Structure 1
Amino acid sequence: MAESAARRHRVVIVGAGFGGLFAARSLRRADVDITLINGTAYHLFQPLLYQVATGILSEGEIAPPIREILKRQDNVDVKLGWVTDVDVEARRVSVEAPGIDYTVDYDTLIVGAGASQSYFGNDQFADHAPGMKSIDDALELRARIFGAFELADLHTDPAERERWMTFVVVGAGPTGVEMAGQIAELAHRNLPGQYRHIDPRKARIILIDAVDAVLKTFGDRLSTRALRRLHLLGVEVELETKVVGVDATGIEVETPRGHERIGAMTKMWAAGVAAPPLARRLAEAAGAATDRAGRIRVEPDCTLPGHPEIFAVGDMMALDDLPGVAQVAIQSGRHAADQIKRRLAGRETGQRFTYFDKGSMATISRFSAVASIGKVHVSGFLGWLMWLVVHLLYLVGFKNRVTAVLHWFVSFLGRGRSERVATFQQAYARAAVRAYGDPFERRRVPAGADGGGE
């Protein structure tokens, strides 16, 4: 009895993306013991994955180790693993890691396991069109992009060469626009003069989306400016175009002109997100409902109905049609931590989570971005400066900021790309896993990012 009375409140946080990490840091002075469980040993700054894929930044600059981030926080125990089940009656989570299974008991549970890529029921597309949710995705795409130019240089058949020099990006949201813009800059600015048998400037970069505008959530004015800038970069934008098939050598689409096939060896998928399997399991265990994307419908204070001890934050929660962006994750994670502190202090809890929209940003090319912050809508160089400041602010760790600035200097002021190393293993690991099987596939709970990396 004395041991039970002396035990501190146990908080288990699932996911070390923006939601989970900021919840843990908000509890650094609280009288609690925190167990932070994540499928990787690093926190992923997901908004900059496209810069890893296009050779601007290294993976280490956007994925600092969790233990290093929290090394001065004595009340946190970091554990590697994928939470596969939650026993809401026993207040216990089941976790699987390579070669070991374990359980962790909790008094309060914060679940922020992020989101995974959605192929809208066509998961087979992933074999040929990787998404942009993990370091593995970014490294695979980097190998495919730079490898495509190398192989195009080897081919003498014009049709084969054209397929290797055609890049298709599916999804005209921020990630898709940023990817298309950076591939265009590679082809037109960084790579010319480096190949004997091809002209990289003849590469085709095609951006596809089923909606009628790029960056549709940014409003008509910024959307139009982004579209104009993409055209100036040489990006072919195909709107109101639905992808109906993807294979090794091309992509099938339905356009206003009819059915078409685009021959392309390199495809990227930046359209759609879905909640990870853990969301469905937790919702079933707690008797909660989910939305069409699989997110858990939570109470206004981010708790599960009938379970005030369980919080779902970031991309895991469905509340007030909030978008799946980093700021929602950060603010909901902090809100959950504040509710815990109020509860332990004997104060009233249950306050509604109120989201403060700090705006949206997307880069299109060097020195060109769009930013929508309340009633302020800017584009061009000013938008790019705002993007630069905001992303430096949220990069975790001084070292990461310094090295990111150095690489941005090389890429944006010069013509180099500091991270062009690509290996066959990176390019073909996905195919190998499919062929030989992944011994841990059943254990995987996608570690996407509430806008970045849980």
Structure 2
Amino acid sequence: MQRVVIAGLGDTGVLTALKLAKRFQVTGISAKPGLLSGQELGVRVARPHEWARDYWTGFDRFRGLDRVHTVHGTLTGLDMAARTVAVDRAGAVEQVPYDILVISTGVTNGFWRRPHLQSAAEIDADLQAVHRRLAAATSIAVIGGGAAAVSAAANLAIALPAAQIGLYYPGDHALPQHHRRVWQRIESRLTASGVALHPGHRAVIPEHHDEITGEPVHWSTGQPAVTADAVLWAIGRVSPNTGWLPAELLDAGGFVRVTPQLQSPGHPEIFAIGDVAATDPLRASARSRADGLLARNIAAYVAGKPLRAYRPPKARWGSVLGAQADGLEVFAPSGQAIRFPAWSVRNVLQPWIVKRGIYRGVRSD
């Protein structure tokens, strides 16, 4: 049986492992002891207990991962000639062999997406510490114009009505990678929640922008500095988690080069998916459910059959604010909003569509 190693068990890595587990001998490598999703930052910082219920799940709870061997450690190297990856497991380096390698190590992005080794207790403590820091603030400045920043501002305004929340973004409008209709709809919700909108503000990025800071924010666009008790940086300045990979696999930005079939050029036994893969300008394979295509392509590669090409969407799509008291809005690439009532999110969407359908069964705590 072919050995498939999945380097990185985030959202996309787990979904890929679930689809390959019945056909291949799969080993997944992760610096976390479970799926610590990078989704829904706003809900994560505003309502961490609720967020953890749906987006922080130990690997042992996934029924579909029962066939997968998971390794808790940090990736430190790749030997393409020997077809092994090196994993540091608390000081002891282990060489894990593969016939096929899937690179899905994602990116580092702010305080909520970091590749360092953590235990479950450390993750739980981090979630609560961030929330306490923000909840103690009487004023919060959210810096950035993408979905993470918009979601953080909106959810914090609802959870902390006594705090002054400001959203600062460089363009005339936020959510520039979404269809314009999405911002038109979200803008009114932000205003109704009391979020002060500040377009045309491009921040001077401090050294510690991957943390919540308390120093004044300065602007390269000329506005006076802004001071807040807490400054949340969600500026989309991502760094690919590829320091363990040979340079020949990477593009100029450090992302993994791939063909339309999600294969590494010149190394057909190596595939990449998710935010770490240079598939398109939006690197959208993580949000476009390309895990199904990848699993089919790996099976086709092993069988010597033609592989299919990945076709990325032209605009961002999906949820922006996350589940709210009045339900969940999901936006299509066209900007059209699809609304799920609140009762359906808890009673249908999460237990049946997500946990049973997409994740193939998740055990309760």
TM-score bracket relative to the smaller structure = 0.7 to 0.9
- Could you tell me how far 1:43 is from its partner in structure 2? 0.9
Q: Which amino acid aligns with 2:129?
A: E
Q: Is the CA contact (8 Å cut-off) linking 1:362 and 1:387 kept in structure 2?
A: no
**Residue 415 (structure 1) aligns with:** none
Q: Is the CA contact (8 Å cut-off) linking 1:94 and 1:101 kept in structure 2?
A: yes
**Residue 133 (structure 2) aligns with:** 144
Superposed, which structure 2 residues align to 1:38-437 within 5 Å? 38-55=30-47, 57=50, 59-70=52-63, 73-74=66-67, 76-117=68-109, 131-133=111-113, 135=123, 138-146=127-135, 148=136, 164-188=137-161, 200=162, 203-244=163-204, 246=206, 249-254=214-219, 258-278=222-242, 280-284=243-247, 287-292=248-253, 294-324=254-284, 326-328=286-288, 330-331=289-290, 333-344=291-302, 346-355=303-312, 359-363=317-321, 366-367=325-326, 371-375=330-334, 377-378=336-337, 382=339, 388=345, 393-395=353-355, 396=359, 397=361
SS in 2 for 1:253: coil
| Bigger helix share | 1
- Could you tell me how far 1:107 is from its partner in structure 2? 0.8
**Aligned to 2:20, which of 22, 27, 44?**
27
SS in 2 for 1:35: strand
Q: Which amino acid aligns with 2:132?
A: A
| Identity rate, percent | 23
More contact order relative to length (CA 8 Å, sep ≥ 6): 1
State how far apart, in whole Å, the 1-side matches of 2:173 and 2:328 are: 16
**Residue 452 (structure 1) aligns with:** none
Q: Is the CA contact (8 Å cut-off) linking 2:42 and 2:153 kept in structure 1?
A: no
- Uncovered stretches (5+) of structure 1, i.e. residues with no partner: 1-7, 118-129, 149-163, 189-199, 404-454
Calculate the aligned-residue CA RMSD, in Å.
Answer: 3.0
State how far apart, in whole Å, the 1-side matches of 2:180 and 2:171 are: 13
**Shift in CA distance, 369/270, structure 1 to aligned 2, threshold 3 Å:** farther
Q: Is the CA contact (8 Å cut-off) linking 1:363 and 1:387 kept in structure 2?
A: no
Larger radius of gyration: 1
1:7-43 Cα shifts (integer Å, max 9, x gaps): x21111111112221221111321x321111111101
TM-score when normalising by structure 2:
0.82
Q: Which amino acid aligns with 1:145?
A: L
- Could you tell me how far 1:49 is from its partner in structure 2? 4.3
1:180-219 Cα shifts (integer Å, max 9, x gaps): 112111232xxxxxxxxxxx2xx21011122221222232
**Shift in CA distance, 72/313, structure 1 to aligned 2, threshold 3 Å:** closer
